[in-house]
Amino acid sequence: MELLLVILIAAVLAYVMTPRKRAPSRSPDTPARSMEDMQRVLDANIGWLRERWALAEEHRQPQSRGIFPRWFYDDATERQLARLARMHIDTGGRILSKGQASDVIGLFEPADEENADILKHFGVVLQPEVRNETRARHEVAKLMLSAANQEAWRNRPASALQKAFFGYFGVALPRGLSQPEADDLIEQHLEAWGEAKRREWEAFEMTFEDLSDAEIRADIELKKVPLSVYSEAFKKVLAAGGDVEDPYVLGEQIKVLRPDLKRR
């Protein structure tokens, strides 16, 4: 497997080190990256990936598989191989496992939202150069080997956004509510209230997520917004018939309510 890794790395490095005047055409599922970006990702992750694949070999037996799912050792799918080809990664004719192909592709993808939330909950911090789908998936799998961690994640407290739902709609918030319980209770209320309230809450969540993006806030010239202030601004824009799905509209209303949140 180490020889396979060397061949794969060499192929990727050959691509990213080759000067090109224009980037090759890419499919929508392949993020556009500069040669420098690919080089940086590889430099930061290659040593760790070698260790991960060596560990996978050690855990190949079913009784000692640990963090590696059964499918990790299956052959790569045609779809995965096509994706690698679009990324200009050549395996030198070697057969990749499904897990290896997934790992390589994941180096160039951001961590998915749930894994990012799990890492944040347990205080695991990945530096920007190694904050990718593969690394996050690996760290989460290690965490979830512990039954105590599994229980802690299932019973984690309701999030600030979930709590905001109850305050926004004027519903009593039960004490000690966990996130899964909050999800269930929110869904029960939305089901009872009808489609209009569901769309309203979905807009509330979506626009708050937009305003949680540092780049969007910088463009609006806005500091980080407390949920209570956002909730008040959302209600005012909604009552005035404004576009509550536009973070720029909400941003301007927030600056009216709280001028101190405007960036100088």
Q: What is the pLDDT of residues 172-183, one digit of tens each?
A: 999 999 999 999
Give the whole-angstrom CA distance, residue 39 versus residue 33.
10
Look-up of token digits 């590696």: 68
Instruction: Kindly report, residue by residue over 194-212, the tens digit of the pLDDT.
Output: 999 999 999 999 999 999 9
Q: What is the mean pLDDT of residues 253-262?
A: 96
Q: How far is CA 220 from the centre of its chain?
A: 24
Specify the higher pLDDT residue, 1 or 100: 100
pLDDT at residue 226 is higher than 50: yes
If one counts every other C-beta atom within 10 angstroms of the C-beta of residue 206, the result is: 13
pLDDT at residue 244 is higher than 80: yes
Q: What is the mean pLDDT of residues 184-190?
A: 97
**pLDDT the model gives residue 24:** 34
Q: What is the 3-state secondary structure (H, E, C) of the chain?
A: CHHHHHHHHHHHHHHHHCCCCCCCCCCCCCCCCCHHHHHHHHHHHHHHHHHHHHHHHHCCCHHHCCCCCHHHHCECCHHHHHHHHHCCCCCCCCCCEHHHHHHHHHCCCCCCHHHHHHHHHCCCCCCHHHCCHHHHHHHHHHHCCCHHHHHHHHCCECCHHHHHHHHHHCCCCCCCCEHHHHHHHHHHHHHHHCHHHHHHHHHHHHHHHHHCCHHHHHHHCECCCCHHHHHHHHHHHHHCCCCCCCHHHHHHHHHHHCHHHECC
Q: Which of 152, 242, 151 is nearest to 253 (CA)?
A: 242
Q: What is the mean pLDDT of residues 4-13?
A: 49
pLDDT at residue 258 is higher than 70: yes
**pLDDT the model gives residue 40:** 86
Which amino acid type is present at position 189? H
